[in-house]
């Protein structure tokens, strides 16, 4: 064997090793930059069967396999949604944990919880809006059938103080504050009854245990259609296309009770930009799909994609809006 042959074989082995290393790096880069993940979770703090859960499952199905080969929904219920938010914060920043949250956990809680275990701006990257919707105020069978309008309900409350109350999905939520602000503007004492989600709140209303509920419109629609409750007002700038016969709070003179609420998607801070962009792209395809848009409209939701910057601006707007409201109501969350 000649020296030239020995050197050639040695060089060939070195080149092969280098090629394998390069291929490995290329594969790793491809995984981090754009290839689909194997398993991802949409994490939310609301129970199965809730409006957020139904929305999450529809979206989870539609972003696979483009974003991840498998996408499951992980319901982390408790602490008013904080368990889900903190789980995503503490989880790996690799795009496998996607937070889907209603706005209060990000835009209101920083003003109501003295020791909130997360910072909605510093600990998360906004990815996209998911859906926007109006809140609504409804009454159930505890209130006489002759009461058909919001002014009539407030008059009824004045002479029935012992049962003048309303439920909401959680203390310190936007439905809670909207109901309280409406009562204050009308000069009525209306006791707030907090629940762990919209489903038990509505169940107690239609069962006659509480008088009224303030909650997302979509949660109430099946019960309204079944004749189990009556809608009195919605929070949009104009009447909702899902309930055009129902007046807005603003229409009845409550000019400060205008709100379009939202669900949105976030990932943990330090998630690679490539994952964030790919998730954004997958969500855009999902949220503009006619199938998804139609399915969500049947639940009173308007599917809405946004850029990361647009969601960040919306969150900052909510943080600024709710701070003086929370202060004026002198509300502090206790748990």
Ordered domains of the chain (ranges, CATH):
38-133+261-329 (3.40.190.150), 134-252 (3.40.190.10)
CB 219 within 8 A of CB 202: yes
Q: What is the pTM for the complete model shown?
A: 0.84
DSSP letter, residue 251: G
Secondary structure of residue 44 in the 3-state scheme: strand
User: Cα 87 to chain center, whole Å?
Assistant: 15
pLDDT at position 34 = 54
pLDDT tens by residue, the chain, 335 residues? 444 343 344 433 343 444 433 333 333 333 444 567 899 999 999 888 888 999 999 999 999 999 999 999 999 988 888 999 999 999 999 999 999 999 999 999 999 998 999 999 999 999 999 999 999 999 999 999 999 999 999 999 999 999 999 999 888 999 999 999 999 999 999 999 998 888 899 999 999 999 999 999 999 999 999 999 999 999 999 999 999 999 999 999 999 899 999 999 999 999 999 999 999 999 999 999 999 999 999 989 999 999 999 999 999 999 999 999 999 999 998 75
Q: Across 144-204, where does the E strand assignment appear?
A: 165-168, 191-194
User: Cα 134 to chain center, whole Å?
Assistant: 13
CB 214 within 8 A of CB 168: yes
CA distance 95 to 84: 15
């Amino acid at each position: 064997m000649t020296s030239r042959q020995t050197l050639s074989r040695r060089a060939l082995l070195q080149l092969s090793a280098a090629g394998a290393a390069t291929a490995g790096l290329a594969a790793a880069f491809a995984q981090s930059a754009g290839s689909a993940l194997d398993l991802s979770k949409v994490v939310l703090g609301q129970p199965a069967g809730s409006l957020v859960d139904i929305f999450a499952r529809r979206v989870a199905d539609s972003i696979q396999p483009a974003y991840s080969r498998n996408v499951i929904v992980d319901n982390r219920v408790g602490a008013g949604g904080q368990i889900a938010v903190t789980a995503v914060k503490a989880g790996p920043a690799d795009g496998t944990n996607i937070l889907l949250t209603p706005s209060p956990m990000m835009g209101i809680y920083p003003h109501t919880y003295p020791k909130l275990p997360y910072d909605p701006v510093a600990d998360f990257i906004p990815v996209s809006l998911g859906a926007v919707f109006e809140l609504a105020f409804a009454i159930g069978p505890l209130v006489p059938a002759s009461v058909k309008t919001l002014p009539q309900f407030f008059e009824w409350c004045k002479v029935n103080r012992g049962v003048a109350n309303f439920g909401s999905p959680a203390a310190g939520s936007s439905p809670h504050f909207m109901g309280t602000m409406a009562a204050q503007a009308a000069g009525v004492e209306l006791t707030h009854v907090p629940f762990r989600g919209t489903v038990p709140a509505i169940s107690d209303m239609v069962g006659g245990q509480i008088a009224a509920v303030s909650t997302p419109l979509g949660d109430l629609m099946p019960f309204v259609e079944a004749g189990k409750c009556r809608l009195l007002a919605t929070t949009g700038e104009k009447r909702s296309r899902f309930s055009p016969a129902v007046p807005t709070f603003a229409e009845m003179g409550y000019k400060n009770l205008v709100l379009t609420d939202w669900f949105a998607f976030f990932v943990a801070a330090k998630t690679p930009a490539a994952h964030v962009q790919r998730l954004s792209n997958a969500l855009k395809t999902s949220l503009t799909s006619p199938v998804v848009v139609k399915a969500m409209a049947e639940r009173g939701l308007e599917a809405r994609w946004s850029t990361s910057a647009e969601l960040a601006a919306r969150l900052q707007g909510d943080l600024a809006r709710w701070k003086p409201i929370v202060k004026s109501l002198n509300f502090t969350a206790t748990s």
